[in-house]
Structure formats: C-alpha cells, structure tokens
Chains A and B, each alone.
Chain A
Amino acid sequence: DEILRSLAGPPSPPGQDPHGWRVPVDCVRANELCAAEPSCSSRYRTLRQCLAGRDRNTMLANKECQAALEVLQESPLYDCRCKRGMKKELQCLQIYWSIHLGLTEGEEFYEASPYEPVTSRLSDIFRHASIVSGMDPATNSKSNHCLDAAKACNLNDNCKRLRSGYISTCSKEISASEHCNRRKCHKALRQFFDRVPSEYTYRLLFCSCKDHACAERRRQTIVPSCSYEDKEKPNCLDLRNTCRMDHLCRSRLADFHANCQASFQSLTSCPGDNYQACLGSYAGLIGFDMTPNYVDASTTSITISPWCSCKGSGNLEEECEKFLRDFTENPCLRNAIQAFGNGTDVNLSPKNPSPPVTVPPKTEKSPALPDDINDSNTMYDTSIITTCTSIQEHGAKLNKSTEQSLCYSETQLTTDIMPDQKTFVDQKAGGSRQRGCRILPLVPILLLTLGL
C-alpha cells in the first residue's frame, strides 16, 4: 500500500504529469492509481457493480452508473492498455474489459485492441531473416527454410527446450479415446510463443517453401492434430463467441483484427504497413480457441484459417463469411507471411508507429521478451518415448575390446567407435554457441519498466 500511495502521491515518478493522469499506463498500474484516489476507486466499484449482469442500455439508464462512467473517463483507467506477455497480463485484461465492455456497444464485429501498439522492431527481424537465409550455405543448394528454422531452434537451448516442451505435450497420447490433452498443449504452445524470441518462432511459423515436404513441415509446426483439428468444425461465429467469453482470447482476437485487418490505403495492405505487428498478433492467437493454421501443405498459395466453417450460420452467413475471410483471404496477413519468408521487408517502416485504432502514443518500448513467470506450470512431461532401435549395433563394436565395459579407454573410444569425430571436435568444442544471449540484456529494461 505504501508503494501505491507513493506512486499516486505528489512526488510523481518521472514521465508522469503531476497528477499521474492522462499518461498511458498499463491497466494494472492504472488500477493501483485509481485505488489510491478515493473518488476514483468508489466510482470504479460502482461501475463494476453496474456492469455486472446488465447490458449497456439498462446501465446507462441508471444515473449513478452514468456518472460513474463519466468520472472514470477522466481517470487513467479509461485509456490504459496491456502488453503481450506482461506480468499479470490476465489481470490487466480483466481490468481493461471491465471498463470497456461498458463503453462499447458490445457484440461489435471488430473490437479495439487492449494491447499497446507494437513499435516497429520489424526491420530488425526481417533483416535477421534475410541475413540468415542468405548466409547459410545449406539454404541455397537444397533450400528447406523450415528445416533450417528447426535447426536454428534446436541449437538454441531456450528455443529447443520450449519447443520440445510443446511437442511432447501435444503429441502425447492420453488414451484410445482421448488423442491428447488439448488444454495442456495450448498452454505449452503459448509458453513457446510468449517466451522464445520471435526471430526463432517466426522462422518456424512463417518459413517460405518451394516443395511439399517443407510446406507440410510448416503446417505441422503447431502440432495441428492436437492444437488445431477437432472432431467437428464449429461455426465460426460460435467459435468467436466462445473466444470472447475468455478475456485472453478476446484480447488476442481484437489485436489480430487491429493489426492484420486488410487496409486498402497502404502499399502492403497492412495497417500502417506494419508487418511485424500483424505477424505478432497472428502468433498471439496460437494456443487459444481461435488458433489459426495453414489449411494445407500447398506451396503456391498460403491459406490460413481457424478450425471453423460457416455452415449453419443461418441469417448470419454474411457476417460469418466476413469473419472467416479475415483469415482465409487476407492480403495483409498473406503479404506479411510472404515478406517474412522471403526476408524482404518493404522499406517503408512507419514513421509514426501507431497503426491500430484509438491508440495513445507510446512512452516506452515494450521489451520483446515476456515475463510471464506466473504462468510457469511445468509441463514438460518427462515421458520416455522409446528409441526405435537397439544399442546392439554399438554393443557389437564394444564387445571387440578386452575390458568389457561401456566406457572405455579414451584412445580407443575416439579411434574405434567414433572414427570421423576427431576432426569436428576441436573446431566446434567449447560451447560458445549463442545461448539465449538475447535474454540478459533485456532484463534490466524489463525490471525498469515493471519497477516504475
């Protein structure tokens, strides 16, 4: 409480105006500021009571509720936002929606994103992609960019660990009737996409392909048999309703719509020509009810869709088709994926990185690495998936020797069993590979942002 008071009190932290108002803060902070101000906190409590179980019109008919809403529009709660993968993300989104559900008409086709706009780190990532694809000698001869992406991930300890985490969870059969634990699979996928830097995750997800094997590997990235496909295909509007019941899914979907909505005013068809924001919002949907994926392993045309159809839409068929087309026939999304795969970025990075609707100007760069530590239920099932063949082959070789033991004299080990290894060893030894070295520099920034 002392901290809260000091935050809201007169000696305001740097970057705030004297009252702490009207400066975009995240909703958790805004809630703290509001709680420290008696008038704000009482109005906020009133509004939450007003909203509980009532629709917007009945609520606004009540004078007290209307007054509460008006007062809160002057508070930092009104235009607070959240960050993807932030600490207490769910709490932040709950606060956001508790106000915004009362402000909007509800049941709108597109909702404003509760997330802060992504400042364009895109050039970095695109440049990285092009450098990697240009430098790796293997890519030129037998190019399978998706295989290269898997290699890059496997050689990074953090990426490898979280990738194996979701793969083993999602491909673990529970019983004859239950193919896998979808809930755990989704959670492991969210952890992967939240905690692994996008230069690894995007490469896996958006690699460009020239042949079927590559495109199938790309389609398989999220283990669709568990995370995507289902026995039945629900109606897309029903699926949207399910998604909107969940604050996280609702937010991610709103963010996708804000950042990937086809725009005819820009060269790229993307809002603010910001490919990065669109790809990020797309990846942000993975691991929720609205999980999108490639519908097939086609190399020529990229078609994305959530697992739903417009069958049984009744008189809402048009709305359903419109909703589905934002995935299946979305030039912004398609261009963004293709541009990333080719390592080409329109050199048109937005001067003012504020593409989505109603976004306040940013004050701080959001760190690329999330800090969702609260969410860390370990789910790396240490399930042993048996190795296909035996050790007999090796055993035979070992048996040649006189001293029969699995570990053997160093000289013979290198000469007998691993004849061609010696040459590699000296060059590649020493573990100097880049092991999640991106994480460390970010930590101070993160602490700073959270500590403020």
Chain B
Amino acid sequence: SRRKRARARHKPCALKELEVSVSELGLGYESDETVLFRYCSGTCEAAVRSYDLSLKSMRSRRKIKKEKIRARPCCRPLAYDDDVSFLDAYNRYYTVNELSAKECGCV
C-alpha cells in the first residue's frame, strides 16, 4: 500500500534541520534573515507499548467511539532550542522562543 511504501523509507525519530528565512516560518514576521530550523522527523514503531495496542483494541471493539485518541507514539520535540533573535525588514528586533527542536523522542 501507499502508506507502507512511504513508511519504509522513513528512519527512526530523529532531529533534522533546515535553513529557512524568517518569513518562511509563517509566523507573520517579515525578514530575510536565515535561521536554522530543527525539527523532529521519523517513525516511532519501536516505541509502541501495550498501551497503544490495547487502546487500538478498545477502539476496534467500539468500546471507545467518539473520543479523540491516538493509539500510536509520536515523534515530537522533548526539548526546544534557545531563543532566536532577528532583525525584520522594518529594522525592528524580535525574539522568538521555542522555535526549534533540540531533542526528539517518541511520546
């Protein structure tokens, strides 16, 4: 299936990085300054617990119906990088915190 093929190419959850302009962050700032954006990417198959399997089972048995649940661990930042400051196109300085991941994990 499409999902299986796509997942096969994915590596375990880890930190990755991109060089992006501040404008590209989509936070509403206008600045050509480039920042390093670190994010978490990868699969969490190894981190599946009995909890996830049981939860899935509860859902398939329709014991849990309308609630929003997630029966799979998820690759997310465990810690965020230090603040990032930049000068925008109107010569104003801004500081953004928790912009970039520092450590990733399956939670």
- A binding-site residues for B, Cβ under 8 Å: 144, 147, 150-151, 154-155, 160-161, 163-165, 167-168, 170-171, 213, 216-217, 220, 223, 380, 382-385, 387-389, 393-394, 403-405, 407-411, 413-415, 421, 424-425, 428-429, 431, 433
Contacts and interface: CB of A to CB of B under 8 A. Distances in A.
A389 B28 contact: yes
A150 B87 contact: yes
B10 interface: yes
Contacts of B17: 428-429, 431, 433
Contacts of A213: 89
Interface string B58-79: 0000000000101010111000
Interface in B10-66: 10, 14-19, 26-29, 32-36, 38, 41-43
B82 A151 contact: no
Given A154-B34, A164-B85, A425-B16, A405 B97 contact: no
A404 B68 CA distance: 6
Interface of B: 2-3, 6-7, 10, 14-19, 26-29, 32-36, 38, 41-43, 68, 70, 72, 74-76, 82-87, 89, 91, 93-97
Contact of B28 (A144, A150, A387): A387
Nearest to B25: A387
A167 B75 contact: no
12 contacts: A154-B34, A167-B95, A171-B95, A216-B91, A220-B87, A380-B82, A380-B83, A394-B26, A410-B41, A411-B3, A411-B7, A415-B6
A452 to B, nearest CB: 35
Contacts of B3: 409, 411
B94 A385 contact: yes
A431 B101 CA distance: 12
A425 B10 CA distance: 11
B7 A410 contact: yes
A409 B35 CA distance: 27
Given A389-B27, A393-B26, A409-B3, 19 more contacts: A147-B33, A150-B33, A160-B36, A165-B83, A168-B85, A220-B87, A223-B93, A382-B83, A387-B27, A387-B28, A394-B26, A403-B70, A407-B70, A407-B75, A408-B74, A410-B6, A410-B41, A425-B18, A428-B18
B34 A167 contact: no
B34 to A, nearest CB: 4
A193 B36 CA distance: 22
Contacts of B15: 431
B97 A382 contact: yes
A154 B82 contact: no
A404 B42 CA distance: 19
Contacts of A383: 95, 97
Given A155-B36, A387-B28, A411-B7, A217 B91 contact: yes
A387 B22 CA distance: 12
B84 A160 contact: yes
B70 A150 contact: no
A154 B27 contact: no
